[in-house]
Each structure stands twice: as structure tokens, then as C-alpha cells.
Amino acid sequence: MASAAEQLARNLNFSTFSKAKALQQRIWFTLGALLVYRLGTFIPVPGIDPDAFRATFEQSEQGILGMFNMFSGGAVQRMAIFALNLIPYITASIVVQVVSTASPRLEEMKKEGEAGRRKMNQYTRYLTVVFCTIQAYGISVGLEASQGVVLNPGWFFRISTVITLVGGTMFLMWLGEQITSRGVGNGISLIIFAGIVANLPATVVQTMELSRTGALPTLAAVGILLLSVVVVAVIVFFERAQRRLLIQYPKRQVGNKMFQGESSHLPLKLNTSGVIPVIFGSSLLLLPATIASFAAQGNSPQWLQVITAMLGRGQPLYLTLFAVFIIFFAFFYTAIVFNPTETADNLKRSGGFIPGIRPGERTAQHIDYVLTRITVAGAVYLTVVALIPEIVHNQLAVSQFIGGTSLLIMVTVTLDTISQVQSHLIAQQYEGMVKKSRLGGGKRR
């Protein structure tokens, strides 16, 4: 038996969308905000020679800088004001969430509702400024170490670069929050998504040109295309996959009538954490690796050059750390967004129960057991999708814009955004049905 929400979703059409004026305004606001972001990726940091930096960047494009450039929408390649993108903010969010699980004070703050959430966001912003400052200063020093990139090296260039890059990240953080509250979807994910999509056409053309000139075998180019299609299909399948737990409600009597017990399902997504583990894992790898890559271009110590080489894209240490981070954050983020005990208590209060499982603590244990098993499958899926294409593309020296990480982010964010739009349309249609019923009731009276 379909639920009311599913029946409303089936009735959605273009006419429903044309009447949803509020949703249209949200979409236009989102597009406008993403346009502002894209314009900022073309404004260079003052005090550098763009041509000299482009030549320096091309020497390490296939390394970790190429991955960072993918997340920033090409801003690193142009050393734009948005070159740091939202990586420091994401890293700060990771640190705050991890610390909150070990700090009783922060744990209590999370339970304070909207006020607690604002305080946590404020701590995240402060930590973002710290990470931005450290990373921006490392980049400024690395730029000075590169021959001919900085026009006037010195403290004035370093300070101006730090202020510019920190300001760019803080603006993007504010812009992402505005998209989340006034637009459609998660603003942070959409900004990263926009950067990847903007560079996708050029990447496809570049791959075709490599195939035409013979630098990339035709069979390899076809294989990459087929691999991308398979990866997209796998992502869609696993992101839609659910484990549904049967929920039974007892019979109830209203007056002299006895109503049969109803049944429903508790849907548990195979990948509850979404694309967050991949973004978090990439952010933690990019923060130290980017600074090391810039610093290693100058007269850097031997140990720094070794670390930079080991953290290069496709290297065993890079792939191992990436896999560990993905698996860890898949479980960590799932534990944050889904509480089995709270879900079991809600079921008990509403009279629902899982057949064969005692309500309360036993139900929470059963839900946690099922959730842990499917999260294992979800973590393995994320790891395989993120790493296998990376290995293949690294062997063929192909741009990572069409790698597993970029495809995963694009497909997942697209699915989430479509779900957000459908939710707004369902809410719009439901409000219209309620108004009609009220008007009909008034006429009958």
C-alpha cells in the first residue's frame, strides 16, 4: 500500500512545478550564487605572474595539486581568490564533530537545539580561519620558492595572499550557508559540484585530443568511457538501495469499531553518509599535501620531499590513507545522523514494533546491528568507487576530473538535489490539497 507521500510524488508534473513560485525563486537564487562562485575562480591573487605560475602548476598537475584543482573548480590552476575553496571549512567541521564526540560539554551543546547548533557553527568558523591562515601562509611561501612566480617577494606579499585566500574561503562558506537556507540543496556540496561540472567539458575534450594524437590509446579511451558509465550506474544503484525493516502497529479500537493493525517500513539507506566520507577523506589528505607540494618546489628538506612523493596521487600511502578515511567517516557520519536508540524510543511511543523483537532496548540493538552490517557494505562501495578509477586513471595519466571521486560527488549531489526539489513540490502540492479541502468544507457549511 503506497504512502501518502509516495502518491503525491507520483502526481508531480510540470504543471505542479510551474505553480511552485517559491521553489522557482530558490532555484534562481542557487544558480545566481553558483555564478558568483564561478566568477571568483577567475580573479587571480595579486602579486603573481599568471604565466609563470601556470608553467609551475603544469609540472605537478597529475599529482595532488590536480586533485585540489578539481575541488576548487580550476581556481588553483589560476591561483584565484577561491583557490582554497571550502577544504579548510570541511576540515574544521571534521575536527569539531570528532572532538564533540569526546567532549561532554560539546555533546551537551549539540542537544541544546538551534542555540547549540549556532555555537557549534561559530566554533567551526573560528577553526576554519585558523586552518585557512596556516594553509594560505604555506602557499605564499611555496609561491615565493617557485622561480619567477611572485613579482615582489616579501612579507607584504605573504600577508596580502593570506588575507585574500582566507577572505575567499570565508566568503564561500557564507555563500554555501545562504544556498542551504535560501536555495535548493546543501550549499557546500553544490559549490564543490559546480566546480567539478564546470571543468568536465574541457576534460572530455582533452581526453579526446589525447586519443586523437595517439598519446592515449583508443582502446584505453573507450575503456575509460565505459568505466565511467559503469561507475555512474553503480553509484545510482547503491545510493537508492535501502534495507527496509517491517514495522507493525497493533489493533486499536475507536468507539465500537475495531481497526486492524497497520504495517509500514523503516527505511535504512545502504549508504547513509552519502558523499561526505569521500569529501572528508579528500580534505584531510589535501590539507598537508598541498602545503608540502608547494614547499617541495624550493630548497626543502629531504623528509618533506619524501612525504610529498608518498602522498602523490595514486601512490600506495595516498590510496591507503584515502581508504581508511572513507571507511572511518562512513561509520562516523552514520553514527551522527542516525540514532538507533532514539528511533526505537519513537517507535515505542507510537505503538510500533518490529515483529519478533521486544520494543525498547532490544529494538535499538536490532536496528544498530542491521545498520552496522549495511554500513559495512556502503563503506566498501564508497572505497571501491573512489579508488579503482583513481588507480586506472593514474596508470594512464588521465585527468582526475573523470575519476571516481568526481563522478561520485556529481551523481550523489545531483540525486540529493532532485530529492530536495521533489520535497518542495510535494509540500507545495500538499498545501494546495489542504487549502482546497478547507474551502470545500467552508462551502458545505
* The pLDDT value given to residue 301: 67
> Which of 138, 151, 165 shows the shortest CA–CA distance to 48?
151
Spatial separation of the C-alpha atoms in residues 106 and 112, rounded to whole Å: 10
Residue 317 C-alpha from the chain's centroid: 23
Rg (C-alpha) for the chain, rounded Å, is 25
Are the C-beta atoms of residues 199 and 76 closer than 8 Å to each other? no
Are the C-beta atoms of residues 176 and 187 closer than 8 Å to each other? yes
Cell numbers that stand for 374 in this block? 549495511
Spatial separation of the C-alpha atoms in residues 24 and 424, rounded to whole Å: 10
* The pLDDT value given to residue 91: 82
* The pLDDT value given to residue 127: 92
Angstrom CA distances, 424 to 161, 251, 421, stand at 42, 34, 5
Spatial separation of the C-alpha atoms in residues 327 and 385, rounded to whole Å: 12
Residue 326 C-alpha from the chain's centroid: 12
Q: Tell me the whole-structure pTM to 2 decimals.
A: 0.77
Looking up cell 544556498 gives: 179
Non-local CB neighbours of 55 within 8 Å, separated by 6+ positions = none
Cross-strand pairs, 247: 264
- Work out the angle at residue 25's Cα, subtended by the Cα atoms of residues 425 and 29, and round it to the nearest 5 degrees: 120
Please list the pLDDT of the chain residue by residue as tens digits (445 residues). Answer: 444 444 444 555 556 666 777 788 888 999 999 999 999 988 888 888 888 888 777 766 555 566 667 777 777 788 888 988 888 888 888 888 878 877 778 777 777 777 777 888 888 899 999 988 988 888 888 788 777 788 888 889 999 999 999 999 999 999 999 998 888 878 888 898 888 888 777 777 777 777 777 777 778 778 778 888 888 888 889 888 888 888 887 766 555 665 566 778 888 888 888 888 888 887 777 666 655 555 555 556 677 667 767 766 667 888 888 899 999 989 988 888 888 888 888 888 888 888 888 888 888 899 999 999 999 999 999 998 888 767 776 666 555 545 677 888 888 888 888 888 887 777 766 666 555 556 555 554 4
Amino acid at 94: I
* The pLDDT value given to residue 160: 93
Q: How many C-beta atoms lie closer than 10 Å to residue 394's C-beta?
A: 19
Amino acid at 106: L
Alpha helical stretches, state H, 214-360: 218-240, 276-295, 302-310, 316-337, 340-350
Fill in the DSSP letter of residue 184. Answer: S
CA 69, 75, 78, 79 torsion: positive or negative? negative
Q: How many C-beta atoms lie closer than 10 Å to residue 146's C-beta?
A: 19
Alpha helical stretches, state H, 48-113: 50-59, 64-71, 75-78, 87-102, 104-110
Are the C-beta atoms of residues 330 and 273 closer than 8 Å to each other? yes
Q: Is 258 helix (H, G, I), strand (E, B) or coil?
A: strand
Cell numbers that stand for 351 in this block? 505503538
Are the C-beta atoms of residues 297 and 49 closer than 8 Å to each other? no
